[in-house]
Amino acid sequence: MTGDKKRFISFEKKKQGFVTYGDNNKGRIIGTGDIGGGNTLTIKDVLCVEGLKHNLLSISQLCDKGLKVTFESDR
């Protein structure tokens, strides 16, 4: 999820409801689309949520789509 429409390489306006955050506040979904392009990975079906200040990425959803996610520390 993101609140920044500029990140989308394709975008479709939708008023399809709300998302509920961990603190039970809600954000209105204003569209969906794909983020990426160039030499980067394209992430499909990303929600655009009105007023969202930080991008939220679901690791479990990426894994469900067959991607491998690795976290490494430089320390």
The tens digit of pLDDT for each residue in 29-64 reads 999 999 987 777 889 999 999 999 999 888 998 899
Pairing of strands 40-49, 26-37: antiparallel
DSSP the chain: -BS-GGGEEEEEE----EEE-TTS-EEEEEEEEEEEETTEEEEEEEEEETT--S----HHHHHHTT---------
In the prediction, which pLDDT does 37 show?
A: 75
Q: How confident is the model at residue 65 (pLDDT cuts 50, 70, 90)?
A: confident
Do residues 35 and 8 lie in contact, with contact meaning Cβ atoms separated by under 8 Å? Answer: yes
CB atoms near residue 24 (< 10 Å): 6
Q: Per the domain annotation, does 53 fall within a domain?
A: yes
Structural domain tally of the chain?
1
The model's pTM: 0.81
Q: What is the residue range of 48's domain? A: 5-64
What does the pLDDT average to over 7-33?
A: 93
Q: Per the domain annotation, does 29 fall within a domain?
A: yes
What does the pLDDT average to over 16-28?
A: 93
Q: Per the domain annotation, does 59 fall within a domain?
A: yes
